[in-house]
Amino acid sequence: MSEYHNPVLLNDSVDALIIDASGIYVDCTFGGGGHSREILTRLDQNGKLFSFDQDVDALRNKIDDPRFELVEQNFRFLKNNLRIRGIKQVDGVLGDLGVSSHQFDTPERGFSTRFDGELDMRMNQNAKLSAKTIINEYEETDLARIFYDYGELSGSYRLAKEVVKARTEKQIETIDELKQIFSFIPKMKENKFFAQMFQALRIEVNDEMAALKDMLMQCTDVIKPGGRLVIISYHSLEDRLTKRFMKNGMFEGEPERDVYGNWSAPFKPLQSKVIVPTKEEINENPRARSAKMRIAVRNEE
């Protein structure tokens, strides 16, 4: 079993999250348990931590601590799972988004361009939709949409056309077979190109943007006034959604203002600039290179 990544912005994120050592907290993205373990060191005997993860591999990292509970669910079901456990509000929610190093480094999971393997990319291995299904069954227009919307790839219709053309000859089942379709991409550009394409497929497979929106919206009810919301993201799509939500509680458009031009937002960002890792952390942990952290406090009702 491959190692899970070192937690990114570990002390910065937990410092921002913990406002009460006796409080109740949520780690939405348990993974290897790095953030969760650090949170538990900051809590006293009355504190409580609920961590979420839908990946069965993450269950092997479960922490033996009476103050800890691992919820085997996607974080988009945050509110219901807390309510089932009798928890109406918490003191803080942390989300370290993206794919773990363990997922990237396990060839059969299909997340990485570095290995050949089946086109999978499911974070929940019980889910039906995989990258192979998308590549072989999606209509050309839908392929173009996800390449453009989630991969931010130019020429998305041409790329989709190439996939449809290739699959008429044979089913596309592996990472290498997908990469061969795009052999025309210049060598100097192919790493970035395939990173963007794999990001697009992964987001579609796991419905990541909708899941993030669901979780953020539920935080309005789940986090108590004065509580903290801390999100670490790794690409512009996630960061954009997080930034807009923390600013005005919406993902698109502008909130309605009163006659004085004011509006009521559920959260207030704690700083105007995004927080990024230090050069030292990036040198020690290359995965931190693209990380961006935003912190917000829940406003009073």
CB 150 within 8 A of CB 131: no
CB 274 within 8 A of CB 293: yes
> Does residue 63 form part of some domain?
yes
Q: Locate tokens 């961590």: which residue?
A: 51
**Domain carrying residue 263:** 10-101+209-298
Residue count (the chain): 301
Domain with residue 245: its CATH number is 3.40.50.150
- 207, 238, 268: which is the final residue of a domain? 207
* Distance separating alpha carbons of residues 55 and 75, to the nearest angstrom: 11
* Distance separating alpha carbons of residues 52 and 95, to the nearest angstrom: 10
Q: Binning pLDDT at 50, 70 and 90, where does residue 108 land?
A: very low
Give the model's pLDDT for residue 23.
98
Residues contacting 84, CB < 8 A, separation 6+: none
Domain with residue 122: its CATH number is 1.10.150.170
Give the model's pLDDT for residue 99.
63
> Does residue 270 form part of some domain?
yes
Percentage with pLDDT > 90 across the chain: 74
- 207, 228, 245: which is the final residue of a domain? 207
* Distance separating alpha carbons of residues 75 and 61, to the nearest angstrom: 17
Binding-site residues for S-adenosyl-L-methionine, please? 33-35, 53, 75, 96, 103
Which of 262 and 20 is assigned the larger pLDDT? Answer: 20
Contacts 24+ apart (CB under 8 A), 152-161: 152/196, 152/236, 152/237, 153/193, 153/196, 153/197, 153/200, 159/197
CA 204, 207, 210, 216 dihedral sign is negative
- 164, 188, 207: which is the final residue of a domain? 207
Residues 53 and 111 placed together within one structural domain of the fold: no
Buried-exposed string 93-131: b where 16+ CB fall within 10 A, e elsewhere: bbbbbbbbbbbbbbbebbbbbebebebbbbbbeeeeebb
Q: Which tens digits make up the pLDDT trace of 282-291? A: 999 888 899 9
Name the token pair of 48: 């409580």
Predicted confidence (pLDDT) at residue 120 exceeds the cutoff of 60: yes
Q: Using alpha carbons only, what angle is made at residue 161 by residues 160 and 163, rounded to the nearest 5 degrees?
A: 65
Q: Binning pLDDT at 50, 70 and 90, where does residue 115 land?
A: low
Angle between helices 208-222 and 187-206 (to 10 degrees): 50
> Does residue 291 form part of some domain?
yes
Q: Which tens digits make up the pLDDT trace of 144-198? A: 999 999 999 999 999 999 999 999 999 999 999 999 999 999 999 999 999 999 9
- Cα→Cα distances 5→157, 208, 230, 249, 263, Å: 35, 20, 19, 31, 40
> Does residue 238 form part of some domain?
yes
Nearest to 219 by CA among 109, 130, 90, 103: 90
Residues 77 and 118 placed together within one structural domain of the fold: no
Predicted confidence (pLDDT) at residue 2 exceeds the cutoff of 50: no
* Distance separating alpha carbons of residues 140 and 158, to the nearest angstrom: 10
Average per-residue pLDDT for the chain:
90
Over range 42-49, report the average pLDDT: 98
Residues 230 and 81 placed together within one structural domain of the fold: yes
CA 36, 41, 42, 47 dihedral sign is positive
Q: Binning pLDDT at 50, 70 and 90, where does residue 206 land?
A: very high
Look at the chain and report how many structural domains it folds into: 2
DSSP string, 48-68: EEEEE---GGGGGG----TTE
